[in-house]
Each structure stands twice: as C-alpha cells, then as structure tokens.
Structure 1
Amino acid sequence: MFHRRLSILSFRMRSPLRDAETDRSRSERLIRFVDEIAAEVTAERSGLAVRYREACISAGFASDAAGTTVSVEREERLAELSATIIACERRLTTLGRHLQLLAEAKADIGQMMPEIARTEPTSISGD
C-alpha cells in the first residue's frame, strides 16, 4: 500500500532524446502539410490569374466595341466582365494572404526546429 502511494507522487519522464525525435517528427509532418496546402493555393491562384487576364482582355475588346456602336448585349457583357474582374481581384488578394499566412507558419516552425527548416527546400510566396 505504501509503495502505491509513492508511485502516485512520482512519475517517469521520457528521455530528452525521445522528446526531441517526437518534436522533429511532428514538425516535419506539419511542414509537409503546410507545403501541400500552399501548393493547392498556388495552383488555384495560377489558374485564376489566367482567367483574370482573359477577362481583362475580353473587357478591353468589349469596351472598344462599345465605343463604336451601342448595344445592350455588349453593355451587359461588359458589366458581367467587370463583375468577374472585381471578384477575381478579391480572390487573388485572399489567396495571396493565405500564402503569406502559410509562409509565416512555416517560418515559425523553422524557428522552433531550425535543423528542419534548413533541410526543407520548398518556399512559399504570397506575391
């Protein structure tokens, strides 16, 4: 009975080496996860940027054409393209902020585990 009471008052810790390995493993998984999400955001941003440029070009042509002849159909198309361009700009801004947040998270992980940050080749850019 006395031995059981003593065991309640003490406990054993894992070795610092084992804790370090656990921390390293978790940090590596977290960095891989951040990189995967960043790749998804980058792919979305790239595809959207192409559609954005196409909408800007179409809007330019529609605007030039509207200057020569007035057409309700052209005006509606121009208004639609303008709305699309504005929505694209907002989304591109949001995606840039997402990439910035992911880059900051990766940097924070790197500060906690500098040896991992030095070995990870990928970079994240919100530009």
Structure 2
Amino acid sequence: MALLSFRTRNPQRDRDTDLGRMDRLVQFLRQLRTEIDAERSGLEARYEKAQTSAAFALEAFENGGGEELSSKADDLAVVMQRYHARVAALEKQIAFMESAEMDAKAFHDALAGADPEKRQGGTGFTSSGNVAQPAHD
C-alpha cells in the first residue's frame, strides 16, 4: 500500500505552458516598446514645430518685433528642454525593453531546446512499498 498518491502533469504539458507564458511576455514587451516609440515620434513632431516657432519668434524679435516675441522664444526654449529630458527617459525605457525582450527570448529559446524529462532534474520516482509512482495527466 502506498503512503503517498499524487499526480503530476506531463512534462511536455508543463513545457508548453512555460513556452506560452514566455511568448506572451515577449509579445507584451514588444507592445510596450511600440507604445514608447509612438510617444517618442509624437514628441519629435511637436519638437520640430516648437523649434520652428522659436526660430521665427526670435528672428521677428531681432527684426524689431515686440518684447512678447522674446518671451515666446524663451517659453519655447523651456518646452524644448523638457522635450530633451522626456526623450532621454524614453530612450532609457527603450533600452530596458530591448534588454528584457532579449532576456525573455533567451529564456524561451533555452526552454524550447530543453528536454522536458531532463528538466525535472532526472530524479524521477521509482516504485517501492512506500512511494507511489506519479501519474501524468
């Protein structure tokens, strides 16, 4: 009579579950990277507009325009500084996402190439009077 009776899942099923999880993680990291890239692209377009407006305001001020043009150019300069800070933050996020994706892919590939029977540590159970042989789903 066996003291313990329990079932374990089939190692291939566990492997497939793990691979699916890694696939979803890689897909999610790619989605985040796409969102970050879209934000950066939008910022670049707004930056170009701000840069053009600042140049026109400064030129108009230098050609005898009112003091408000100088103030506008100064305000636009602050906006462009914020842009640079935000782009730097986004670049760090992109680098992090790329690194995380590479790590997740490497983990996935190692998992995909692993033998499910060997992943269990090769210890397996043997039949004896005290331990039941595990059943697989």
TM-score norm. by structure 1 comes to 0.77
2:20 to 19, 22, 25: 25
SS of the equivalent of 1:113 reads helix
User: 1 or 2, which has the higher helix percentage?
Assistant: 1
In the alignment of these two chains, the number of paired residues is 111
Note the C-alpha offset of 1:115: 7.6
- Is 2:121 aligned against 1:108? no
2: CA distance between counterparts of 1:106 and 1:22? 19
- Report which structure shows greater RCO (CA 8 Å, sep ≥6): 2
2:51 aligns with: 56
Deviation digits for residues 19-77 of structure 1 (CA, Å, limit 9, x no counterpart):
21111010011111111111111111111100011111111111222222252211110
5 Å-filtered alignment, 1:1-127, equals 6-7=3-4, 11-69=6-64, 71-114=66-109
Q: Identity over aligned residues, as a percent? A: 32
Q: Which runs of 4+ in 1 moved over 3 A?
A: 10-13
Moved more, 10-19 or 56-65: 10-19
Name which one, 1 or 2, has greater alpha-carbon Rg. 2
Q: Is the 8 A contact 2:29 2:97 kept in 1?
A: yes
